[in-house]
Structure 1
Amino acid sequence: MSSFADLGLPEAVISTLAANGIDSPFPIQAATLPDSLAGRDVLGRGRTGSGKTYAFLLPVVSRLASTAGERRPGKPRALILAPTRELVAQIDAALAPLAAATNLKSVTIFGGVGAGPQIDKLRKGVDIVIACPGRLEDHVQQRHADLSAVEITVLDEADHMADLGFLPPVKRLLDKTPNRCQRLLFSATLDGGVDVLIKRYLHDPITHSVDSEQSPVNEMAHHVLHVDNAARFEVLSDLAASPGRTIVFARTKHGAKGLARKLNARGVPAVELHGNLSQNARTRNLAAFSDGTAAVMVATDIAARGIHVDDITLVVHADPPVEHKAYLHRSGRTARAGNEGTVVTLMIDAQVADVRTLTRKAGVKPTITKFNGTSHPVLLEIAPGERSFTGGIVMDVPEQPQRNSAPRRRPAGDGRSSANPRSGNRGGSGGGGGQRGNRSRGGQTRSYSTSSSSSSGRSGGSRAN
């Protein structure tokens, strides 16, 4: 396998990667870097967790570091567009040590927070803008940002931007970048709306695909639990109370909120993540999940793309997603970077045909278990370990979506959660034996605020390979 040195990265970049425990490239990085470092337009396709973030950050940093010049107010030299605020923050966290080592400055731009700090950074001059389309377009229209000096443009999770309806602002932004600037597009799929971007904006691109669109991660174990509707909460809470980090996907924002509250009432520390939370509450809840304060995150599809938290051992589809791409993106929160993981779909009688079609299109052959009642030995096989119901989090502050303080907003591209969430109910029974890592619950109920209008930070425990 090629090393980062073999690929021609600057020594400062290689040393920084090594200091962060990154010694060798992932397949998508090894495949794309020779072309992207040479200045070619690149299409990179790989599943979530395949290493796409460094595949585009490394050429961006290497190119800008080799042609360092005076920063000009409002005129960045690199533009990275992503569909969600969480993903922007993850990219920024991965970029930070690389930028520090090469004397580059960046700014994150997205809605849901004050525009003033973003404008101040743009005026002082930055090399790299990492942005959701809507808020950046506001800054461009108000002449706080000028994209005419951009040398390299990245579209991350391009298919998700297409799914969320962000293509119009993306096109308007790309139209303001130089026609011949280098463009890198990374995505889990390269179809539909993504193909429109490819044909319009990329010049003679070379495509690198490191896996099949439909192939699941080999290290994932897939299960479908066929349960009665009345038993869903019992089964779910049993799984959620097992050791390790768990993400539960619900269909709607209301469902995610209600399910998190039920799990906490049951004694399982859980936080919610969906579009009805302020940015600060979303950041705080993700931090609680990352640092172990909450063992469970109940999320809508907003989390299926932009959240990369280490060591998620279990993903539960409380409500089966509508289409197979959503199944793969959700499931990709576990079994990242070669680690093992388990994916469970809860299915009632009315969903049998839909789930059968869903898993077939996703290229998955799950183990299907039918329940009579609320318990089954398979629960301990899926999620070994002693169940703990002793440390719920009191979510005692009502959600108040934070109003955007930018003078103008465009709903299609603001990086907010336009994705569909999902709902579900559960409760749980105990179990014993086995292991899956320790889950800290503290033995008592803790008070925790899930919504706030205070300034936000970025959570720890994330990864963005």
Structure 2
Amino acid sequence: MKHPDDSGIAHGGPAQSPATTPAPPPAVVSFAGLELPAEVLRTLDGLGMREPFPIQAATLPDALKGRDVLGRGRTGSGKTLAFGLPLLTRTAGRRAEPKQPLALILVPTRELAQQVTEALAPYAEALRLRMAAVVGGMSIGRQIAALRQGAEVVVATPGRLHDLIERNACRLGRVKITVLDEADQMCDLGFLPQVVDVLDQVRPDGQRMLFSATLDRDVDQLVRRYLHDPVVHSVDPSAGTVTTMEHHVLVVHGPDRYAVTTEIAARDGRVLLFLDTKHAVDQLTRHLRASGVHAGALHSGKSQPQRTRTLAQFKNGQITVLVATNVAARGLHVDDLDLVVNVDPPTDPKDYVHRAGRTARAGESGCVVTLVLAGQRRETSRMMAEAGIEPTVTKVRSGEAALSRITGAKAPSGTPLDGGPAVPRPKNTNTPFRGLGTSKDTSRGAGGKSRKAGEARKLAEARKAALVRRNG
């Protein structure tokens, strides 16, 4: 538990801020030792939660007193209850007017909004508080209706909240408690102007809490402008340095990368595959399903109902492979997810930290694998060093024992899940690699050359025949 400048946070901590107060070590050993309502304690007990996680033990006493809090804990460390329980406790007993919530939780993604809402719902219900989720991709009419009926607590993404404010469907003047979850990502994604606009509208004398797995300089301007004498808590190592997490870099031969990815996806147990683009995600997902692997795609091009359904199927085991862009790098909690694979290596150390944080959650073990080509090794090594990671580096080929030992990889069944012809198992050939899921169409290329050769041959024969005719 340290000031951000001496907490060892990778990627550069906030500049020294005179308005921050380092916090003393937590002394809380149980939820019962906190000033929580009896209804909340009964709910916690009913859910089997008796001892707070370190980030909760550190922040709850200050947050329950109404202090501004700047908290950093690794993903999966329990940040949602760390800000959610005091927010609900301090809002209990008050009633919201139509369109005028009393507490606001701002998050960067729809998935995180949904997860936060679900996690806090039992406690809100116990305290008779109404919650509303306000996110893009869902019916804005229903969200307007929920706000009109009155919701004490709103969980929102910045874009949709901005739209509702513009329509005069939501007014923030009575919001007394404001939480920014994954504050650094909201800055990274370009939400900073909307976040500033929101913080300018909530009550200036209210409580503000900023939580994230990383607190870097992007967040510092928000801290300086909007938090009043905040208590700073940094209790866990970042996701990249969790001791229960293994990190591997697998150096693959270019033409073999698709086969390696397919065999990893065919393993027993769930796996999360990260790629850079929506197109690559869709392409790999189609290939995996045609190879007999139960895979689903998740990216921002999918509708919210599609994204929600795919996540539910991944969590309940209907699909065992989630192929995703960085939209799944935050806010995704899946129990017993022990393998994350960067098919496309991230270039930003923060992206690595948050992708990695999908596994080894809440003290469990996990493995993070990054596939690199020989030409990517230097850049990937630099990125991982900045993230504080020292991975085990191994050269692998598809079908090798080392690949199976590290990832559990095995050959796919080859039986298509959606009909159509079976896809032949990717082979380790010397065909030039042209991107995941694509290959140079050698048959077309050869065919083109053959046609040109044939045409040249026919032209030569015609000229020869004409010459013979002229010469009698």
Is 2:302 aligned against 1:289? Answer: no
Is 2:97 aligned against 1:72? Answer: yes
Decide whether aligned partners of structure 1 residues 203 and 395 sit closer, same or farther in structure 2, where only a CA change above 3 A counts: farther
Q: Deviations over 1:416-462 (max 9, x none)?
A: xxxxxxx84499xxxxxxxxxxxxxxxxxxxxxxxxxxxxxxxxxxx
1:348 matched residue in structure 2: 373
- Cα shift at 1:311: 1.1
Picking from 77, 86, 90, the partner of 1:59 is: 86
Matching of residues 44-443 of structure 1 within 5 Å: 44-65=71-92, 68-213=93-238, 215-371=240-396, 373-384=397-408, 389=413, 393-394=417-418, 424-425=436-437
Separation of aligned partners in 2, 1:5 and 1:393: 50
Q: Deviations over 1:25-84 (max 9, x none)?
A: 00000000010001100000111111111101010111112xx13331111110000000
Separation of aligned partners in 2, 1:271 and 1:111: 21
Separation of aligned partners in 1, 2:239 and 2:48: 30
Separation of aligned partners in 2, 1:426 and 1:94: 41
Decide whether aligned partners of structure 1 residues 424 and 306 sit closer, same or farther in structure 2, where only a CA change above 3 A counts: farther
Decide whether aligned partners of structure 1 residues 332 and 58 sit closer, same or farther in structure 2, where only a CA change above 3 A counts: same
Decide whether aligned partners of structure 1 residues 212 and 236 sit closer, same or farther in structure 2, where only a CA change above 3 A counts: same
SS in 1 for 2:362: coil
SS in 1 for 2:297: strand
Separation of aligned partners in 1, 2:143 and 2:106: 15
Separation of aligned partners in 2, 1:310 and 1:393: 25
Count of equivalent residues: 398
Q: Deviations over 1:364-398 (max 9, x none)?
A: 11111113x423222222134865536654399xx
SS in 2 for 1:337: helix
1:30 matched residue in structure 2: 57
2:36 matched residue in structure 1: 9
- Cα shift at 1:14: 1.3
Decide whether aligned partners of structure 1 residues 235 and 188 sit closer, same or farther in structure 2, where only a CA change above 3 A counts: same
Give the alignment's TM-score, normalised by structure 1: 0.82
Greater fraction helix:
2
Give the alignment's TM-score, normalised by structure 2: 0.81
Structure 1: tracts of 5 or more residues without a match: 397-422, 428-465
- Cα shift at 1:7: 1.7
Separation of aligned partners in 2, 1:289 and 1:391: 20
Amino acid at match of 2:402: V
CA RMSD of superposed structures (Å): 1.9
Amino acid at match of 2:404: L
Q: Deviations over 1:94-114 (max 9, x none)?
A: 011111111000100011122
Decide whether aligned partners of structure 1 residues 172 and 119 sit closer, same or farther in structure 2, where only a CA change above 3 A counts: same
Q: Which moved further from structure 2: 14-23 or 314-323?
A: 14-23
SS in 2 for 1:262: helix
Separation of aligned partners in 2, 1:359 and 1:254: 26
Q: Deviations over 1:10-31 (max 9, x none)?
A: 1111111121222210000000
8 A Cα contact 1:259 1:426, kept in partner = no
Separation of aligned partners in 2, 1:395 and 1:269: 13
8 A Cα contact 1:233 1:426, kept in partner = no
Amino acid at match of 2:55: I
Is 2:66 aligned against 1:39? Answer: yes
Separation of aligned partners in 2, 1:84 and 1:344: 25
Amino acid at match of 1:120: A
Separation of aligned partners in 1, 2:416 and 2:62: 50
Separation of aligned partners in 1, 2:372 and 2:400: 15
Q: Deviations over 1:171-224 (max 9, x none)?
A: 101111011100010012222221111111100001000134475211111111
Amino acid at match of 2:222: L
Decide whether aligned partners of structure 1 residues 58 and 377 sit closer, same or farther in structure 2, where only a CA change above 3 A counts: same
SS in 2 for 1:28: helix
Separation of aligned partners in 1, 2:412 and 2:351: 30
8 A Cα contact 2:32 2:50, kept in partner = no
Separation of aligned partners in 1, 2:77 and 2:418: 36
Separation of aligned partners in 2, 1:378 and 1:352: 19
8 A Cα contact 1:270 1:392, kept in partner = no
Picking from 48, 51, 66, the partner of 1:21 is: 48
Amino acid at match of 2:176: E
8 A Cα contact 2:290 2:415, kept in partner = no
Structure 2: tracts of 5 or more residues without a match: 1-27, 421-434, 440-472
Separation of aligned partners in 2, 1:338 and 1:351: 31
SS in 1 for 2:82: helix
Determine which structure has greater relative contact order: mean sequence separation of CA pairs < 8 Å that are 6+ residues apart, divided by chain length.
1
Separation of aligned partners in 1, 2:419 and 2:180: 36
Separation of aligned partners in 1, 2:125 and 2:366: 34
Higher alpha-carbon Rg: 2
Decide whether aligned partners of structure 1 residues 69 and 160 sit closer, same or farther in structure 2, where only a CA change above 3 A counts: same
Amino acid at match of 1:189: T
8 A Cα contact 1:246 1:296, kept in partner = yes
Runs of 4+ with deviation above 6 angstroms:
none
Separation of aligned partners in 1, 2:87 and 2:68: 12
Separation of aligned partners in 1, 2:243 and 2:404: 21
